[in-house]
């Protein structure tokens, strides 16, 4: 196990991504109408990201200067590298997604199998870039830092901070955009005008399709890139503390990520051929399962190649790594159960829709709350097992790293969703044959579930990563103060911090939801204006002004993302300087505890609402146009900002607070 092997793994998966880009771009693009629609989606996506990252730069530049003054040039450099590479991972993936969508729509003319292959390989580009760039950035910067000071890994914390800050902006800004456009388009299009989803007469339809890319592709990529990097950095902190900087402990952590990176392309290739719609999800899960099995075998090689002085036995470390893989599998199954149309939770919401809008909302809220129990049990079980077999919190770090090592294939499965969603929109707007729409609908239906499954995985991994970060925070305090700190529940400052930290996810979610409401309201007013001033739109004799709707929702998203993002940055700083380090520790415990529950409830509940609507649209409980369907549309509209804005954005909020706390230790202890 060496630097050469680890960097080789990173370059191999990036090379695979490059080959996939070439393969996807070589696929047929369809007719002029299809390409015109795809170009509009691409232009809108690019315009939003350019303006978003200009806004982020306004925040990032002063933060860089502050870090340079407070901690030195290496810490500032780490922050810049983390931020830039995180942005690159999301942008490159999104650029391919917006080019893959039209190719999937064209491939659907040839049947399900080829369309599935194009969509999944397009999504794999994003996944491979997340893992490849993450592994490359951490390993390369670690080598640079060791040259300066072999015993100092603190600049790596800033690397994680840079990735985390980008993640909050990308997740929240993209989420506000996608759901502001989606909700606005649905409220006027489906409910008021009675036109289908993705109908070209809807002025917000392009903005809606743009949102799928900036939210579910670029946003998710930044989210899991950040979790991937932060988890490795947190494991480094514990390894440095527990094993006196033994270099083998660091190689072990990177080795787990490296062998899983090599396994990921194999899992993608062994997906198999999909012949019918019910086989789509099985094929995606087959890729995930094969990647996990190959990774497990690779982990065995890693644990037997290195000896960590004073560390757990190789077998104990291997079991801890297997626990991380098992938690991933369990989270996939649990989330699938709560969000798939095949099972009780979604069907119960659809059934409740028969009796009206209120009962749909009540049922959806109940399912969202219920959906938190099983994932928490899975995470707790994994945590306890990993701790018991290794005898230390480092075992939990190993499980978390093993879990995040699968990020490449998981992000590939997630990015499959927005690609197929856009492909369906292009097929509808370009008026392609019904046989094409049947293929894209089948892919899109699965894509909705895969996005929910990925969010469940992201939340569970964030929970483990945050626990490891909290342990690293405590170890940093102990190392600098020379004392062993205990955050006792009887300490009034710890309790005060606990309540303040627990408040953050709720307040953040409230601000995010309100932001979506404002953005959606602006879209509704614009769509109504165009329908009123251009009656020819509904008759097909006049064209909607798509660009106007795109511009409105872009401005709204960028304006509304600032205040919520300042919350997880400002709260730990204020607590540390006003109430002290003990209160800060309590705040971290509070934000982890409530954040995981709020995120799980929102993401699973929102996805269940969405699929309940789709279940009715398939002909159940009266089908499209029925009273049950109208109630389900309302539920879906409420669930949209739950599952795609507030819920997912809480993941980076938890980690931002923890990593800022680690940075603050050197200033306040």
Three-state secondary structure of 41-98: HHHHHHHHHHHHHHHHHHHHHHHHHHHHHHHCHHHHHHHHHHHHHHHHHHHHHHHHHH
Closest CA to 104 of 448, 453, 425: 425
Q: Using alpha carbons, list the distances in angstroms from residue 441 to 189, 198, 210, 353, 428.
A: 19, 12, 18, 23, 10
| H or E stretch at 306 | none
Q: By C-alpha distance, which of 625, 204, 669, 615 is closest to 482?
A: 669
- Contact (Cβ atoms closer than 8 angstroms) between residue 400 and residue 324: yes
pTM of the model: 0.91
**How many angstroms separate the first and last alpha carbons of the chain?**
37
Distance of CA 290 to the CA centre of its chain: 22
Which residues of the chain register pLDDT less than 70? Answer: 1, 277
| Residue in this structure with the two tokens 């995985």, named with its chain if needed | 457
**pLDDT tens digit sequence for 319-332:** 999 999 999 999 99
197: how many CB neighbours lie within 10 A of its CB? 18
| CA distances to 16, 96, 114, 265 from 268, in Å | 11, 17, 14, 5
The pLDDT of residue 651: 87
pLDDT (0 to 100) of residue 144: 92
- What's the pLDDT tens digit per position in 456-503? 888 888 888 888 889 889 988 988 887 888 888 889 999 999 999 999
CA-CA distance, 448 to 465, in Å (whole number)?
A: 26
What DSSP state is assigned to residue 101? Answer: H
CA gap 544, 530 in Å, rounded: 7
* Six-digit token string for 571: 């709260």
> How high is the pLDDT of residue 434?
86
The pLDDT value recorded for residue 1 is: 58
CA distance 125 to 332: 21
The DSSP code for 625 is: T
Q: Write the DSSP symbol of residue 491.
A: -
In angstroms, the CA 228 to CA 159 distance is 12
């Amino acid at each position: 196990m060496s630097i050469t092997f680890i960097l080789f793994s990173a370059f191999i998966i990036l090379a695979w991504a490059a080959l996939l880009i070439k393969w996807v771009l070589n696929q047929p693009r369809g007719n002029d109408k299809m390409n015109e629609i795809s170009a509009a989606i691409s232009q809108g996506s690019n315009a939003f990201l350019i303006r978003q990252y200009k806004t982020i730069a306004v925040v990032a530049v002063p933060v860089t200067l502050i870090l340079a003054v407070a901690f030195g040039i290496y810490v500032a450099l780490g922050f810049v590298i983390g931020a830039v590479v995180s942005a690159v991972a999301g942008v490159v993936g999104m650029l391919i997604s917006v080019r893959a969508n039209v190719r999937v729509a064209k491939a659907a003319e040839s049947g399900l199998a080829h369309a599935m292959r194009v969509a999944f390989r397009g999504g794999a580009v994003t996944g491979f870039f997340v893992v490849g760039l993450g592994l490359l950035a951490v390993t390369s910067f670690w080598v640079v830092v060791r040259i300066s000071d072999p015993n100092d890994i603190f600049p790596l914390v800033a690397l994680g901070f840079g990735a985390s800050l980008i993640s909050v902006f990308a997740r929240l800004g993209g989420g506000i955009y996608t759901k502001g456009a989606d909700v606005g388009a649905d409220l006027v299009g489906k409910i008021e005008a009675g036109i289908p989803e993705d109908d070209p007469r809807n002025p917000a339809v392009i903005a809606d399709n743009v949102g799928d890319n900036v939210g579910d592709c670029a946003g998710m990529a930044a989210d899991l890139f950040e979790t991937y990097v932060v988890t490795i950095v947190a494991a480094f902190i514990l390894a440095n503390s527990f094993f006196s900087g033994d270099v083998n402990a660091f190689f072990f952590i990177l080795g787990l990520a490296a062998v899983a990176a090599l396994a990921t392309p194999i899992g993608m290739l062994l997906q198999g051929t999909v012949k019918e719609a019910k086989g789509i999800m099985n094929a995606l899960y087959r890729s995930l399962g094969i990647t996990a099995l190959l990774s497990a075998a690779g982990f065995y090689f890693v644990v037997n190649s290195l000896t960590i002085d004073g560390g757990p036995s190789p077998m104990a470390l291997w079991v801890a790594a297997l626990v991380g893989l098992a938690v991933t599998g369990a989270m996939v199954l649990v989330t699938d159960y709560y969000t798939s149309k095949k099972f009780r939770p979604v069907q119960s919401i659809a059934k409740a829709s028969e009796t009206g809008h209120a009962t749909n909302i009540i049922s959806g809220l109940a399912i969202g709350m219920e959906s938190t129990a099983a994932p928490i049990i899975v995470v707790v079980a994994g945590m306890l097992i990993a701790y018991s077999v290794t005898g230390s919190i480092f075992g939990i770090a190993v499980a978390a790293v093993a879990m995040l090592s699968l990020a490449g294939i998981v992000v590939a499965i997630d990015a499959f969703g927005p690609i197929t969603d856009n492909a369906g929109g292009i097929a509808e707007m370009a008026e392609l044959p019904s046989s094409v729409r049947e293929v894209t609908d089948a892919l899109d239906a699965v894509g909705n579930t895969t996005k929910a499954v990925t969010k469940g995985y992201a939340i569970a991994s964030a929970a483990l990563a945050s626990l490891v970060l909290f342990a690293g925070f405590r170890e940093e305090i102990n190392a600098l103060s020379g004392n062993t700190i205990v955050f006792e529940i009887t300490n009034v400052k710890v309790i005060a911090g606990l309540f303040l930290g627990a408040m953050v996810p709720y307040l953040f979610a409230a601000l995010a939801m309100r932001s979506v409401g404002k953005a959606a309201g602006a879209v509704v007013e614009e769509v109504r204006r165009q329908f009123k001033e251009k009656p020819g739109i509904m008759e097909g004799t006049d064209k909607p002004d798509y660009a106007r709707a795109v511009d409105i929702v872009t401005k709204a998203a960028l304006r509304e993302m600032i205040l919520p993002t300042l919350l997880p940055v400002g709260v730990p700083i204020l607590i540390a300087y006003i109430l002290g380090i003990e209160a800060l520790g309590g705040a971290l415990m509070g934000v982890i505890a409530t954040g995981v529950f709020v995120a799980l409830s929102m993401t699973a509940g929102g996805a269940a609402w969405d699929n309940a609507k789709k279940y009715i649209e398939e002909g159940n409980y009266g089908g499209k146009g029925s009273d049950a369907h109208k109630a389900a549309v309302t539920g879906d509209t409420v669930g949209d900002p739950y599952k795609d804005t507030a819920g997912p954005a809480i993941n980076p909020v938890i980690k931002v607070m923890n990593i800022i706390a680690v940075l603050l230790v050197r200033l306040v202890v």
